[in-house]
Structure 1
Amino acid sequence: MSPTAAKKAATSKSASEYTAHHLQVLEGLEAVRKRPGMYIGSTDSRGLMHCLWEIIDNAVDEALGGHCDRVEVTLHGDGSVEVRDNGRGVPVDIEPRTGLSGVELVFTRLHAGGKFGGGSYTASGGLHGVGASVVNALSSRLDVEVDRGGKTYAMSFRRGEPGVFSDVAGAKGTKDPSHEFTPYVDVSELEVIGRTRRGVSGTRVRYWADSQIFLKDATFDLEGLLARARQTSFLVPGLTIVISDQRGDEVREEVFVHDGGISEFCEYLAPDPAVTDVWRLHGSGTFTETVPVLDANGHMSPTEVERECGVDVAVRWGTGYDTKVSSFVNIIATPKGGTHLAGFEQALLKVLRKQLEVNARRLKVGNDKLEKDDALAGLTAVVTVRLAEPQFEGQTKEVLGTNAVRAIVARVVEKELTQRLLSTKRGEKQQAALLLEKVTAEMKSRISARLHKETQRRKTALESSTLPAKLVDCRSTDVERTELFIVEGDSALGTAKLARNSDHQALLPIRGKILNVQKASVTDMLGNAECAAIIQVIGAGSGRTFDLESARYGKVIIMTDADVDGAHIRTLLLTLFFRYMRPLVEAGRVYAAVPPLHRLEVINPGSKANEVIYTYSEAEMRRTLAGLNRRGKKIKPIQRYKGLGEMDADQLAETTMDPAHRTLRKVTAEHLESATKVFELLMGGEVGPRKDFIIESAHALDRERIDA
């Protein structure tokens, strides 16, 4: 039946009524519209994005099968979104049991598609087979065009019901869900709207999310879309993904393509300098499971089938202690893990424990036992598995539930990782030794932190103290009031002792420049006397074991000289805090004192006391001096402080330590990733990037800020 005839046959029916021909189909989709949360999680922006992922995943499945190398996603200004691929195209022939075309079957029937027969897709991302039909049911309009066999086919739907819109098919800028819609009555029609060149195939889906279902403020998250596209391009090497946002005045377009696979992805995710290279762990295994299969008579019968599970893992340990593990099933992210992640962690811990037992004497392990957190410290990993019809906990696919996958992943990781750690190749052997030393240091750090936490408490004058002898502690135990000043050298300590308020201000002197922990290992850091003293005095541990609630002081104030050396010492201390006591920085409890550079004493006539002015830079001193000269004021010779030790106690208290008059700079890290990169650039082990940064930034240097 032609579109014109269909319109005439339905003139007496409302456009919103369901026709008898599609009653059974739409009863299934009506359940989706009544309870959308069961299928897409929510009806806010997250649910809106989930619908988009369903359509994108169908296109990416073609790429996984080797039939597609380009996917384009366009966010249109009218609120619609379009996904294009150059895959095989949705089948257009008639499915014999239902009498429907492949296009209508995929977009109107739940659990219908090429992912249920086992022939079209061995592993897919649209895993429950409800994606396209659910998106269709929740759209006020959906248009699909298929290039296949030299022809272009088209079909439109309104809230899941197939029919014809009054606008001109294929004309740009005229499509709108508000246009008059005429549903098909007896037989649906997959219309041929054009021809294509020989060998050209693909699918284009454009849909408008239904405002009756989604919240008014639900919007497509461009940054989330870009992150997902980048992630997918890593997971499917060679696939080009184009994201185009046409919603604003300027069109924004991003293109993602990566040929390095998950090795490149793992390196991209890693936040710290490397201890090992990226190691790829490959393998596969088979298992059997009983699944319902549609037989020739249209009945579901339980059948035992053999499945193959492919495992591909990339691991890489770095010098830090943060863990970043991303897991995927058929390129779909599983942020809450599942059986594949459980198998990976189980094998990782087993292999490393065994290697520590073998090397116990060399590593001085003793009777200590490695725990999972020790093995995961500094680890960046991408864990991927591919299998047909995986079982998930819910349609949102956040947790893999197929039990057999755990044992397969564990076997593959155990075998491959053991081979890496026992390799006799020079580079791999050296990296394996460094890795074992790192996990041993993490284990010892955890144990010592636990013991310290169990025994550490503030001592009274009648009790012995385990704190460093050089600590000049305060009397108060109220963390909200107490302050720890880390001072540079013994000379500054002497003055600070007299200047402090002993009730709530404690002092810890350090000798010169401490260890640069950005370059050093955990073992070296813990073995350094100054670093160990700082960690011990603060009393909250370090690294993964850091417990902010156990910190003994409410503020930690770095008080160094106002010169280049003082700035360097402050930077080294900040590196220690950022890397091993980061929660302290994030909580805004780390400060830098701002001592003055000059003291100007203005001579007042008569018996009036002289006025004292402190300045904090050369430029401020010159401006102040010029102002005093214009007013005809006389001043004594300017006192230039080369260090805190040159001040007397009253001056230090007034300018730097007394809360009523001092100036403190709070150290913050609002953008964690960029802060990490800055620390690695300025304090890391690679000289080249730092040298380039200094050369490129030299022209912007403010010479007034240099203590000459």
Structure 2
Amino acid sequence: MTAEYSAHHLQVLEGLEAVRKRPGMYIGSNGSPGLMHCLWEIIDNSVDEAVAGNGTRIDVVLFEDGSVQVADRGRGVPVDVEPRTGLTGVEVVYTKLHAGGKFGGGSYAASGGLHGVGASVVNALSERLDVEVDRGGKTYAMSFHRGEPGIFDDNGGEPRPDAPFTPFEERSELRVIGKAPKGATGTRVRYWADRQIFTKDAAFQLGELENRARQTAFLVPGLEIVVRDERPAAHSGTPTDADQGSDAETGPIETSYLYEGGISEFVEYLASDAPVTDTWRIQGSGSFTETVPVLQPDGHMKATEVQRECEVDVALRWGTGYETTIRSFVNIIATPKGGTHQQGFEQELLKTLRGQVEQNARRLKVGNDKLEKDDVLAGLTAVLTVTVPEPQFEGQTKEVLGTPAVRAIVAKVVRTELAQRFTSTRRDDKNQASMLLDKIVSEMKARVSARAHKETQRRKTALESSSLPAKLVDCRSSDVAQTELFVVEGDSALGTARHARNSEFQALLPIRGKILNVQKASVSDMLGNAECAAIITTIGAGSGRSFELSGARYGKIILMSDADVDGAHIRTLLLTLFFRYMRPLVEAGRVFSAVPPLHRVIVMNPGSKPNEMIYTYSEAELHALLAKLQKAGKRWQDPIQRYKGLGEMDADQLANTTMEKSGRLLRRVTIEDAEAADAAVRTFELLMGSEVAPRREFIMTSSDRLSREAIDA
């Protein structure tokens, strides 16, 4: 550092240098999220082509060497020379910031890419990027090394990023490497992310990629997106003996997504509760003017007032639950943090339904109470899409729409279409409108009642806690941050856990059998269930919309069930209860699953040295331990004890392995785990429910995935 500061201290970063110097400005981070954002940029270019009516299939391949390829059947990147730069279209698109066909030149009516930096940013942050374009009966190719065009010497083998690279010195060359089939057009981009930029643990997330592919297929009806994962990591894990004879997990994972129903089908996919209304489709458009710089023939920019057309498409339905799911998109690009389009939608939804409630105030018996936004959004599942030429986003990550005029257009479309719904004379429309008003008014009354009768939750001593469940074995400490509530399966495990716990800060609540499946039960049924009510009362923070995290009486909620199928089912049902009615606990990371050991191995030591007890937590860990002991020449006591339930342990064993902080293993439950449990409950419903037809269809369509060696018979 020096006190001198003059012009020679200033740096001017040219071209792609700025991207490599400050990647976070363009992709958000240099971890896995940034790596995925680069992939979205390439995929979105192909999606824009499909939206424009060019191509109906996109293939995404995650290769074993860490590279990824995106192939489409669009028009192909232009291969002719761009007159101002003297470079081919391929080189312009992949090396020049703020260059592309999405600045209003007429190539795209509306697109997700609008800054002209997506492909060039990916190129700058790639150790190697290869582009192949099919146009005019020929296949053109160009390669880049950290954004610089040139030629890699692969010596006839597979392409790799560390191959000798020769940059172009005088003039770049777009090579013709073969003939394309007649009429075939498209672009293939394969790149290797630069590990000088991204962190070592950054990796492509298959689940996130599949979710994005599914989402895009919903948004673009008729577009097929195929995701193929060839990485060994995709099949990692220790296979069981039954798995050894199956090839299901040894080959690449390939999934295809194709939906014809559009966003109406998307809403049905997202909604998990019973419907109050059908899926309503709201469509319309509006125009607005805005002043934007327009490139003139003389090369100068001139502020010009242009007319814009905004198309609005919404699918929504209300269900019996209270959770709200709203997905908003601009030109197929997700806006997870909303923006002006979502503001207009929510504001007009509240305004319209307020007016309907006021018109039906006598029938609904609402008194002087007024609807709030949460009342209207409870149980709502909606997908909102708008198509806008050159939308204004807040930042390159495009998470928030900023175009002001879109708010009024969306509001007008929603107002007009909903008014038609509520004034319709069709019997079905009238019944659904009536049920919807009844639902949102009941939500309002529940909110008002909860506010009026809410009591401050305070920890009570054993003498004061008459309202707590009688079977709760409470702890003495009043420090919420230190206290733990163990939800224990069965009275037998409770007896052992009572002696194993630290009574200062560990409380126990036994549950009997499998609790109610809250996935398909109403709120009243849930509250009427003894086990669910006991859990909610013990935690003391309420449930559903009235749940307040600050009122929770315990710092950790630990689910302690047996290590068998029934225990896993009970844990799944409990997670579903927390996910549905006490979600803030899960989001705050305060719900855990205890991991009791499966086996106890007694290692026999020679002489007077006491025997050693070792616990293992999986079959694979047990076999690895036995192999290690055998190699070391040590003997163990047969038979090896296999714990079928927590009640089989004595208090010392349960304390040492599962309850004491120094030796236990806890698995924190994340929101993704809860969603998986939610999906697991739906699977249990399918396999064990009263509906026969879906189960028969599942068995017939899934029989080919069965490994006969896995059947324990």
* TM-score scaled by length of structure 2: 0.70
Counterpart of 2:677, as a letter, is A
Is there any run of 5+ residues in structure 1 with no aligned partner, and where? 1-24, 487-502, 559-567, 592-654, 697-708
Counterpart of 2:139, as a letter, is T
Residue 180 of structure 1, aligned match among 165, 183, 189: 165
Within 5 A, what are the aligned runs for 1:425-574? Answer: 425-454=426-455, 478=478, 521-522=522-523, 540-551=541-552
Within 5 A, what are the aligned runs for 1:544-623? Answer: 544-551=545-552, 579-581=580-582, 587=590
| 1:337 alignment partner in structure 2 | 338
Within 5 A, what are the aligned runs for 1:255-404? Answer: 255-404=256-405
1:42 counterpart = 2:29: yes
Do 2:58 and 2:72's aligned partners in 1 also have CA atoms closer than 8 Å?
yes
In the comparison of the two structures, how many residue pairs are matched? Answer: 593
Counterpart of 1:265, as a letter, is F
Of 201-210 and 675-684, deviating more is 675-684
Aligned partners of 2:149, 2:193: CA distance in 1, in Å?
16
1:26–1:427 distance in 2 versus 1, CA, 3 Å: same
Of 582-591 and 149-158, deviating more is 582-591
- The alpha carbon displacement at 1:454 in A equals 4.8
Do 1:453 and 1:539's aligned partners in 2 also have CA atoms closer than 8 Å?
no
Give the secondary structure class of the aligned counterpart of 1:120.
Answer: coil
Residue 140 of structure 2, aligned match among 153, 156, 166: 153
| 1:201 alignment partner in structure 2 | 185
| 1:687 alignment partner in structure 2 | 690
Within 5 A, what are the aligned runs for 1:221-236? Answer: 221-236=205-220
- The alpha carbon displacement at 1:77 in A equals 2.3
Counterpart of 2:447, as a letter, is R
| 1:189 alignment partner in structure 2 | 173
Do 1:67 and 1:87's aligned partners in 2 also have CA atoms closer than 8 Å?
yes
| 2:221 alignment partner in structure 1 | 237
Aligned partners of 2:89, 2:282: CA distance in 1, in Å?
39
Aligned partners of 1:123, 1:291: CA distance in 2, in Å?
16
Q: How high is the sequence identity, in percent, across the aligned residues?
A: 66
| 2:674 alignment partner in structure 1 | 672
| 1:215 alignment partner in structure 2 | 199
Give the secondary structure class of the aligned counterpart of 1:219.
Answer: coil
1:99–1:548 distance in 2 versus 1, CA, 3 Å: closer
- The alpha carbon displacement at 1:533 in A equals 10
1:527–1:370 distance in 2 versus 1, CA, 3 Å: farther
Aligned partners of 1:524, 1:259: CA distance in 2, in Å?
37
Give the secondary structure class of the aligned counterpart of 2:30.
Answer: coil
Do 2:221 and 2:261's aligned partners in 1 also have CA atoms closer than 8 Å?
yes
Do 1:340 and 1:406's aligned partners in 2 also have CA atoms closer than 8 Å?
yes
Aligned partners of 1:516, 1:242: CA distance in 2, in Å?
35
Give the secondary structure class of the aligned counterpart of 1:28.
Answer: coil
Aligned partners of 1:421, 1:232: CA distance in 2, in Å?
32
Of 572-581 and 196-205, deviating more is 572-581
Counterpart of 1:68, as a letter, is G
Do 2:134 and 2:184's aligned partners in 1 also have CA atoms closer than 8 Å?
yes
- The alpha carbon displacement at 1:59 in A equals 0.8
- The alpha carbon displacement at 1:43 in A equals 1.7
Aligned partners of 2:191, 2:185: CA distance in 1, in Å?
20
- The alpha carbon displacement at 1:96 in A equals 2.1
Do 1:471 and 1:506's aligned partners in 2 also have CA atoms closer than 8 Å?
no
Counterpart of 2:32, as a letter, is S
Give the secondary structure class of the aligned counterpart of 2:214.
Answer: helix
Aligned partners of 1:667, 1:405: CA distance in 2, in Å?
45
Render the CA deviation track for 1:24-50: whole Å, top value 9, x for unaligned: x99222222222111111222222221
Do 1:236 and 1:261's aligned partners in 2 also have CA atoms closer than 8 Å?
yes
Give the secondary structure class of the aligned counterpart of 1:241.
Answer: strand
- The alpha carbon displacement at 1:462 in A equals 14
1:152–1:515 distance in 2 versus 1, CA, 3 Å: closer
Aligned partners of 2:574, 2:173: CA distance in 1, in Å?
72
Is there any run of 5+ residues in structure 2 with no aligned partner, and where? 1-11, 233-249, 489-503, 560-568, 595-649, 660-665, 700-713
CA RMSD across the alignment: 5.0
Counterpart of 1:419, as a letter, is Q
1:272–1:669 distance in 2 versus 1, CA, 3 Å: farther
Residue 69 of structure 2, aligned match among 78, 82, 93: 82
Do 1:438 and 1:522's aligned partners in 2 also have CA atoms closer than 8 Å?
no
Aligned partners of 1:667, 1:449: CA distance in 2, in Å?
34
* TM-score scaled by length of structure 1: 0.70
1:579–1:192 distance in 2 versus 1, CA, 3 Å: closer
- The alpha carbon displacement at 1:574 in A equals 9.8
Do 1:484 and 1:553's aligned partners in 2 also have CA atoms closer than 8 Å?
no
Counterpart of 2:164, as a letter, is H
Give the secondary structure class of the aligned counterpart of 1:223.
Answer: helix
1:577–1:100 distance in 2 versus 1, CA, 3 Å: closer
Give the secondary structure class of the aligned counterpart of 2:416.
Answer: helix
Do 1:138 and 1:159's aligned partners in 2 also have CA atoms closer than 8 Å?
yes
Render the CA deviation track for 1:403-451: whole Å, top value 9, x for unaligned: 1111111111222223223333233322222222221122122222222
Give the secondary structure class of the aligned counterpart of 1:409.
Answer: helix
Aligned partners of 2:557, 2:169: CA distance in 1, in Å?
73
Counterpart of 2:362, as a letter, is R
Aligned partners of 1:590, 1:162: CA distance in 2, in Å?
52
Counterpart of 1:179, as a letter, is P
Residue 144 of structure 1, aligned match among 131, 137, 140: 131
1:99–1:273 distance in 2 versus 1, CA, 3 Å: same
Aligned partners of 2:206, 2:536: CA distance in 1, in Å?
42
